[in-house]
Amino acid sequence: MLSLRPMGYGGLIGSFSNRTVWLCLEHRGNIIEVMSNLTQKKLKGRNKRLYPRWGAATNLAFRTVKRLKIAIGRLTPCWQACVPLATLILLAWGCAAIAQMESAPAPLPAPIPETAPAPAAAVPTVAELKVALDTLWVAIAAFLVFFMNAGFCMLETGLCRQKNAVNVLSKNLIVFALATVAFWAIGFGLMFGDGNDFIGLNGFFLTGADNSPATGAAYDGVFDALNWTGVPLSAKFLFELAFAGTAATIVSGAVAERIKFINFLIFSLLLAGISYPISGHWIWGGGWLHKAGFYDFAGSTAVHSVGGWAALMGAAFLGPRRGKYEDGQSFAMPGHNMSIATLGCLILWLGWFGFNPGSIMAANPEAISHIAVTTNMSGAAGGIAATITSWRYLGKPDLSMIINGILAGLVSVTGSCAYIKIGSAFAIGLIAGILVVFAVTFFDRLKIDDPVGATSVHLVCGIWGTLAVGLFSVGPGGFPWMVDLQGKPVGPHGLFMGGGGETLLAQIVGIVSVGGLTVLLSTLFWLGLKATLGIRVSPQEEFAGLDIGEHGMEAYSGFAKEAGAGGFIPERPTGMGGGSGGMPKRR
């Protein structure tokens, strides 16, 4: 017997005969394979006993992957490219969720009970919530009124000729910036600062004592005229600033296509900083008209008539556009784009839902909804009336007249929208729509050249809207919001509602006095500018267009220009319409 050492493949220990050893060495590979197979079978049996579902799960996973590959292979290349993208998105979401969970602070340990209870978290009071809601509504209304500048831009540009588009856009854009500075520096103080019955003498540059949003007797500051609204001073200023900008913008359309750009800028500063605030102090700043019983809820006189009077004086001092009146005839100068003019009208209509309902300066749901309905009703009635009137009077339903009719209805209801019933709003708008058509032809016969009809819409219908306050107002306490801070009924009482003629007389006094002041100051401003700088461009600049002469650029570079000296087209014998062949009317 031969004793062998352990060999490299495990070592055979024991005693074998030479024949046995030789056989082992000859077939050692087969022996190892057999032993390996036996070991694997043993392990598989052991795994099946310990993990009976492992094999089935593996087979299911393989089958699922195979089916998924087949399904993806049937997709188009575009959808196949989406598969890895969707996978990446899912992975990113998963990582973000894990990161968020990891970054979340660990829960605090349970507090140790104390003898004294922990202080409760501060809860806003009802008064604080009211201030927040009132401020939010006033801010939203101010934003809507500010957006009306876009409407003025579109409307005036569309109703003017192509060669003056840049000039009209520039004026409407810069005017609000100028009004902001002028009204902040002196205008707000002149209009609402404490002073006398004619002018405010405090609050310039928005300075001075103020404890807004306190109201009534609790208010302690230099803006007593605004102590009836419980919002911060900055909200009051923002809202009133939007109105000042509107008054200045009205002038732009009436003096379009022939005024020097620098002169318009200077006049806008003077109007927004001096003229508008002084007359506004009489009405809204606790001045003598307010004490005389004059009512103008949102500005038929305070905003629109003031802008209309200033526009009328500007158009008169400038004179008509060259070629407008020749040989005893009035020649139409149609607007170049009635599409954007119509868009401008719709933007202004939308902005009026901030202009009128926002003037309540409180989140009063009943008042806001009622004022919005009366505002919309008057605008709708004005558009209908102007359509019918122009159809009968001019022979065609002129689009520019429809636009002006809608705006006339909105202007005319601005002074009375909070004091009248819905039926009265319809009547006011109906009369305004008729008035504006005849007003356009009236000023044209006087050879007052107003390219967009600003005087007809804002001046004439502003006067009518102020008179309507004295005719249709329901009287003190007629609506729940027509009370003062102490709950006492207040408000105008119209002649047609059984109120006699007292309110109507006060309205007439206000129309005459505000008109007289605005005409006086505007005349001084225009004459001063005419004597120093000259207010009108040269004939060559007017012929070529103010876009080139004043700004050195064109709104439609590369497009065909109007023929002749501006594309003068004789009017139809039946009258004057805007873009359809007659004189373009305004806003």
Domain that holds residue 264: 137-570
Residue 560 lies in a domain: yes
Question: Of the ranges 55-69, 183-197, 215-229, which one carries the lowest mean pLDDT score?
Answer: 55-69
Tokens encoding 185: 């520096």
- Alpha-carbon distance of 396 to 383, in angstroms, equals 14
What is the total count of domains within the chain? 1
Contact residues for 224 (Cβ-Cβ < 8 A; gap 6+): 194, 286
**Which tens digits make up the pLDDT trace of 74-121?**
777 666 666 766 676 666 566 555 545 554 454 555 555 555 555 666
- Alpha-carbon distance of 406 to 401, in angstroms, equals 9
**Which tens digits make up the pLDDT trace of 530-551?**
999 999 999 999 999 999 999 9
pLDDT band, very low/low/confident/very high, at 337 (cuts 50, 70, 90) = very high
Residue 174 lies in a domain: yes
Residue 30 lies in a domain: no
CB 503 within 8 A of CB 293: yes
CATH of the domain at 306: 1.10.3430.10
State which amino acid sits at residue 92: A
CB 541 within 8 A of CB 299: no
**Which tens digits make up the pLDDT trace of 119-128?**
666 788 999 9
Q: Which candidate, 195, 175, 191, 272, places its Cα nearest to that of 236? A: 191
pTM: 0.77
Residue 185 lies in a domain: yes
> What pLDDT shows up at residue 94?
62
Residue 252 lies in a domain: yes
Residue 112 lies in a domain: no
Residue 323 lies in a domain: yes
**Which tens digits make up the pLDDT trace of 35-64?**
555 555 554 555 444 444 545 555 666 677
**Which tens digits make up the pLDDT trace of 379-419?**
999 999 999 999 999 999 999 999 999 999 999 999 999 99
Q: What is the mean pLDDT of residues 171-192?
A: 97
State which amino acid sits at residue 48: K
> What are residue 483's phi and psi, to 5 degrees?
-140, 160
In whole numbers, what is the pLDDT of the chain averaged over residues? 85
Question: Is residue 481 over pLDDT 90?
Answer: yes
Residue 103 lies in a domain: no
- Alpha-carbon distance of 310 to 544, in angstroms, equals 27
**Which tens digits make up the pLDDT trace of 275-303?**
999 999 999 999 999 999 999 999 999 99
Q: What is the mean pLDDT of residues 355-383?
A: 98
